[in-house]
Structure 1
Amino acid sequence: MNSARASRFFSLVGLLLALVFGSTRPAAAADAAPAAPAPTSLKVATRIITPFVVKEGDRYTGFSMDLWKAIAAEMKVTYTIVEKPNVKDLLEAVHSKEADMGVAAISITSARNVEFDFSQPIYDGGLQVMVPAQSGDHAPLLSTVKDMFTADLLKLVGIFLLLMLIPAHLIWLLERHRGEDGIVGTKKYLAGILKTSWWSMATLATQADEMPKSYPGRIVATLWMFVSVVFVAFFTAQITTNLTVKSLQGDIHGIDDLPGKSVATTRGSTSEKYLADRGVKVVPVEKIEDAYELLQKKSVAAVVYDAPVLSYYVSHQGKGQADLAGPVFKRESYGIAVPSNSPLRKDINLALLKLKEDGTYEEIYRKWFSEN
């Protein structure tokens, strides 16, 4: 009897153990299930930023794009390009899952690390200052003249020279009948206009040696003298301003010389935040090419942006037009941005490591930066 009870007891215990271990096994198996595989057809967000991303027709090249092509080949994936105008829109495309990753010249920052994952650094850079090219000492006089007479100032002079014909015609009409007693001395149009035009210019320079004889002519002459005084004062002030701006630009030797000056950089970039935090007057633009144009027009005193981008511009398209001022500052690295917890990050890093080991990375780097 006792033996039968013991047998039933152990059978019951065995059944309970079987139920317990049988129910936990699937859960353990589920916990150990592998992560979802990375996709093999990708959308890559990018933006044009020479020399990292360059568009030639329908083809994309540049340091970052050439490196990504090598990474994609190593990962055995296909991809399509989603072009964005700036880094802000590029990152938004990655964040909203419109794109699987972002490839360009994307700075790795602590703020961005909150919303994105980044690959291992693909390039170590920083920020730098770019200013208009300083003329050599071999032609200081020519340089000063060029600084004084800007394109806008020359346009103003041209317009005023045309306006000088108005008092010249009025004086000719009012004085031509006075014969030798007047300042015209002839009724002929061409000869008379030449003489009154000379009078108009002489009055502008306060060197006129005679005045109209008729009362209406004297009224015109008085008004013209007043306009001339105003123009000469404005003209002098404009030249002084141009020389002052040039002097200020020439005083920029690095980041510490920028407070109080207008500086262009791209909207939403790390350089914009850095300048704003230092109290620099920032002129934000959508594309770095817009900043180059502002610098050429002398609408800003300097451009602050990624050092490799500015260095490439100075040695290529902007050669002779712009110079770098001071050393690289705010060192930062660029990486490939992917959404948080993306399975792509591990595969990208593994492919990048292989490319650095087999010399492919060095070959791509030399292609784009060896001349700099």
Structure 2
Amino acid sequence: MIRLLAFLTLLPGLALAQEDTPATSQPALAGPLEEEMPGELIIATREAPPFAFRGPDGAWTGISIDLLRVMADELDFTYALEEAELAEMIAGVGDGRYDASIAALSITPEREEVVDFTHPFYSTGLGIAVDTGSSGGWFRVLRNIFTWQFGAVLAGLSAVLLLAGAAIWAFERRGNNEEFRREPVRGLGDGFWWAAVTMTTVGYGDKSPRTLGGRIVGLIWMFTAMIIVASFTAAIAAALTVGQLGGRVADASDLASSRVGVVEGSSGAEEMQVRRISTRPYPSTGDGLAALANGELDAFVHDRPLLQFLMEEDFQGRVRVLPEPIGRQDYGIALPEGSELREPMNRALLAYVRSEDWGDVVARYIGSDPR
């Protein structure tokens, strides 16, 4: 009897503790809007797979579209999607043409001056796409070798050969003028030839030092030439390797000296502008990746999940995305400033992204949630 009374005393506290424990399944969303929205909402979107794109039947689908559909059901509003360019998605919400915009919209200070954003529903970073080296062949290899840096190395090597040739000629021009002629121009030419064939270990035998001074110079040059040849060979091998691996861009530090493409008006374009990297604008991610695959670009910078999705779908084996992302991008829904939708959308969004259903949506389109 005493145990029963103790249990009944603790029962309200146990119930309260259960209510305070977060649900492991779908959390409760915001519920219907307090005031019914006047008519159908016009919401702008654009092709940004896997967040927003048209399926085989022509209907819009993707991570962002699924999120919008769930929020519309929970908040009890209707909407119509209208396709627009990236710049118009922001400007149209700002001037009232659209009630909202959704796709893969990065929250940036510049955009926040025009519109309000919901809380982020996805965080990622910018990716750098490069080609795999399957296109370009030996032309790409030769391009990586015959640069101005390579020309500077050749000029320096020629100067060293001429210096070694002049030293051998200075000793041999009197005691061995049959092989090293006395005339300065011809004699220096003979010395240059001897230095070159000695360095490459070809050794034709048509010219060889006979004086003591000449032989000392020859011995020093042989050992020096071994070091020069080893260094030169390593430089060529490195250039060949870079060409065969598919490009001159290994990380973000290489972008400044490369041909870089971006989507016009995107957060990638803004990031490159901040870094003072010149870019070529393209209307869409697909256009930029096609230019990259055709050898018109060295790199294409855009939102990482979009690059990875299109790489797998349309550019398999032609482009690859470098492992290290640039910075951070947070995706949100753009709303007019002061919109009554912002607070209920935020509540519904925060509840939904905590649910297992959200994890399933992301996994269905991307494979796994990289956050």
- Give the TM bin, normalised by the shorter chain: 0.5 to 0.7
Describe the SS at the equivalent of 2:129: strand
> How much has 1:364 moved relative to structure 2?
1.1
Task: Indicate the residue corresponding to 1:174 in structure 2.
Answer: none
Among 277, 280, 289, the residue aligned to 2:277: 280
- Identify which of 305, 314, 317 aligns with 2:314: 317
The equivalent of 2:47 in structure 1 is: 48
**Kept after mapping to 1: 8 A contact 2:93/2:336:** yes
Residue of structure 1 in register with 2:129 after alignment: 130
Name the CA shift for 1:357/1:134 in 2 (closer, same or farther; >3 Å).
Answer: same
Q: Distance in 1 between matches of 2:245 and 2:259?
A: 11
* Separation in structure 2 between the aligned mates of residue 66 and residue 346 of structure 1, nearest angstrom: 19
The Cα RMSD (Å) is 2.8
- Any idea what the Cα deviations from partners look like across 1:171-208, whole Å, max 9, x if unmatched? xxxxxxxxxxxxxxxxxxxxxxxxxxxxxxxxxxxxxx
Aligned partners of 2:248 and 2:258 also within 8 Å: no
**Whole-Å separation in 2 of the counterparts to 1:266 and 1:61:** 21
Sort the Cα spacing of 1:360 and 1:299 in 2 relative to 1 into closer, same or farther, 3 A.
Answer: same
Q: Counterpart of 1:72? A: 72
Relative to the length of structure 2, the TM-score reads 0.59
How do 1:1-372 and structure 2 match up within 5 A?
Answer: 38-39=37-38, 41-56=40-55, 57-84=57-84, 86-134=85-133, 144-145=137-138, 147=140, 246=243, 250-370=247-367
Whole-Å separation in 2 of the counterparts to 1:62 and 1:280: 32
- AA aligned to 1:60 is W
1:197-253 Cα distance to aligned partner (Å, 9 max, x none)? xxxxxxxxxxxxxxxxxxxxxxxxxxxxxxxxxxxxxxxxxxxxxx99957962311
Q: Which has the larger radius of gyration?
A: 1
Asked if 2 retains the 8 angstrom alpha-carbon contact of 1:129 and 1:305, the reply is yes
Query: Kindly tell me: are residues 147 and 357 of structure 1, through their superposed partners in 2, closer, same or farther at Cα, counting changes over 3 Å?
Result: closer
Contact 2:263 2:283 in 1 (8 A): yes
SS in 1 for 2:314: coil
d(CA) in 2 for partners of 1:311, 1:260: 24
Query: Residue 188 of structure 2 corresponds to which residue in structure 1?
Result: none
Q: Does structure 2 retain, via aligned residues, the 8 Å contact 1:249–1:301? A: no
1:323 and 1:88 map into 2 onto residues whose CA distance is 27
Provide, for residues 128-179 of structure 1, a one-character-per-residue CA deviation record: whole Å limited to 9, x for no partner: 10000145xxxxxx98457579xxxxxxxxxxxxxxxxxxxxxxxxxxxxxx
Residues 1:116 and 1:336: Cα distance change in structure 2 (over 3 Å): same
TM-aligned CA distance change 1:295 to 1:244, over 3 Å: farther
Q: Residues of 1 paired with 2:100 and 2:42: CA distance?
A: 7
Q: Does the Cα contact within 8 Å between 2:36 and 2:77 map onto a contact in 1?
A: no
Cα offset, 1:358, TM superposition: 4.0
Aligned partner of 2:71: which letter?
I
CA distance in 2, matches of 1:305, 1:248: 21
* Cα distance, 1:306 vs structure 2: 0.2
Give, in whole Å, the separation in 2 of the partners of 1:326 and 1:259. Answer: 19
**1:166: which partner in 2?**
none
**Deviation beyond 3 Å, 4+ runs, structure 1:** 35-40, 142-149, 243-249
Tell me the percent identity. Answer: 28
Task: Compute the displacement of 1:37 (Å).
Answer: 6.0
* Partner SS, residue 256 of structure 2: coil
How many Å apart are 1:316 and its aligned residue? 2.6
Residue 315 of structure 1 and its aligned partner are, at CA, apart by 2.6
Distance 1:335 1:67 in 2: 11
Q: Distance in 2 between matches of 1:102 and 1:80?
A: 11
Deviation at 1:277, TM superposition (A): 2.5
Contact 1:291–1:303 (Cα < 8 Å) also in 2: yes
List gaps (5 residues or longer) in structure 1: 1-34, 136-141, 150-242
Q: Deviations over 1:104-148 (max 9, x none)?
A: 00001122222211111111011010000145xxxxxx9845757
Q: Which runs of 5+ in 2 are unaligned?
A: 1-33, 143-239
